[in-house]
A = this chain, B = another copy of it.
Amino acid sequence: MSHGFVSRMREVLDSTSVLTGADIDERYYQDLAGNVVAKPLAVVRPGTTEQVSRLLCLCNQAKVPVTTQGGLTGLVRGGLPNTNEIVLSMERMNAVEEVNTSAGVAVAQSGALLQRIQERVEQEDHIFPLDLGARGSCTIGGNISTNAGGNRVIRYGMTRDLILGLEVVTANGTVLHGLRRYIKNNTGIDLKQLFVGSEGILGVITRAALRIFPAPSERRVTLCALHSFEQVSSFLGMARRRLGGELTAFEVMWNEYYRLTIERVSGVVRPLPTHHSFYVLIEASANNAERIQADLEELLEGAKDENVVLDATISTSKASAAAMWGIRDSTLELSRTFPYASRIGFDVSLPIDRMNEYVNAIGARTKAIDVRAFAIVFGHVGDGNLHLELHHEHTPDRREDFEKLVYNITGEFGGSISAEHGIGILKRPYLKISRTQEEIETMRTIKRALDPNNILNPGRIFTL
């Protein structure tokens, strides 16, 4: 990329939108752990869709590759620039443009923070149900590009299920004005589906029409202790039947997660003793507090009668509910109490009936590499999704051995190597475990058709 190209970018956008040299802050090329990559040659911060279009048109003609950045909270090295890529930051396109409760839709620019959208929608007594720990720093554009999941998938689905329409700029600068606002629209290939979850390799999302829902006025949380995974699985079935549409979260923590969080993370409460094998956090939401209370009590009574649940506590206030969620939401804090080099995170999907066997296999087989290795496991079991943090005492160069082992076991159990975090660059070597060669080749065909010069997030998911 030449100086001439920078000048041309400044011409088609405006000079303040294009940062170079010393004006480029470290945050544009630094990951969550503070590691930096090579400084990009330019950071472009468009303020309008038209500017994104002009920029991509220029980059496409000059074959200059672009990395699109949202909140940089991803975990697979999708958003950090590779050498020779310019950064396209969506941070200036951050407006929540409209909230229409009668139509059940909110419209936001893709750089809007998730939490900002949540709060704006809540002002209208509605919710935008997507929710994850990074809510305060991730952007909706990043959430859509990675098809984020999070805590309420069991009730409201993945990000994909919450998208009514998208405005997208494709590689050659074409603007797809697809910001439609209705659920049903069977008029040809549903193009927006291509851009959800494809990690920015097919287009740059500039705006989204999002589904919003009336806010349930009441919410209760219960934390339960169980002694086996079979009980967890039975309890999920009981909760689904008893709570139906009231069930908004069913989160499971293996003993290590719960115990170590209580022991190591400051400010966390201890609602139940730490010696049980499994802990389940259930959230129920509806408009009738007495009914939720009665439902949870009946659920727990039934589960205790059948020896499915050993011990349980129900929230009595917003504060006690928040305290229980605080344990489940301390994943990052717990992680940081261990040295960076000794931990490896995984995010997998599995059929629920194989989860326990899977976790046991990981435990046993990682010990062959490091006898002191152990896994901290938790996740959205109701969605078939486990998060697993493997801890070892080896030098970082054994990292790849552990990764290979865990992903191979995931493949043996018919699982997905990425439930909600995506592939990016870090998981690329393992994509073939979860997708067949024919599927990956078909993905390449689509990439080549929509981005023939390979300028959008090149090398993410797969290489061409």
Contacts and interface: CB of A to CB of B under 8 A. Distances in A.
A261 to B, nearest CB: 23
Contact of A193 (B149, B174, B193, B237): B193
Given A246-B245, A450-B445, A190 B182 contact: no
A422 to B, nearest CB: 5
A136 interface: no
A194 B197 contact: no
A251 to B, nearest CB: 14
Interface in A150-201: 153, 155, 157-158, 160-161, 170, 174-178, 180-191, 193-194, 196-198, 201
A287 B240 CA distance: 11
Given A189-B443, A438-B176, A442-B191, A183 B449 contact: no
Contacts of A446: 189, 194, 446, 449-450
Contacts of A201: 189
Contacts of A158: 183-184
A434 B191 CA distance: 13
B191 A197 contact: no
Contact of A431 (B102, B188, B420, B431): B188
Contact of A177 (B181, B385, B436): B436
A191 B214 CA distance: 32
A462 interface: yes
Given A419-B185, A448-B449, A439 B191 contact: yes
Interface in A439-464: 439-443, 445-450, 461-462
21 contacts: A102-B353, A147-B190, A155-B245, A160-B190, A160-B193, A177-B436, A181-B414, A184-B349, A186-B421, A187-B423, A187-B435, A188-B431, A188-B443, A189-B202, A190-B196, A193-B194, A241-B287, A242-B287, A244-B246, A291-B291, A445-B450
Interface of A: 102-103, 146-147, 149, 153, 155, 157-158, 160-161, 170, 174-178, 180-191, 193-194, 196-198, 201-202, 214, 216, 233, 237, 240-242, 244-246, 286-287, 291, 349-353, 380, 383-385, 414-423, 427, 431, 434-436, 438-443, 445-450, 461-462
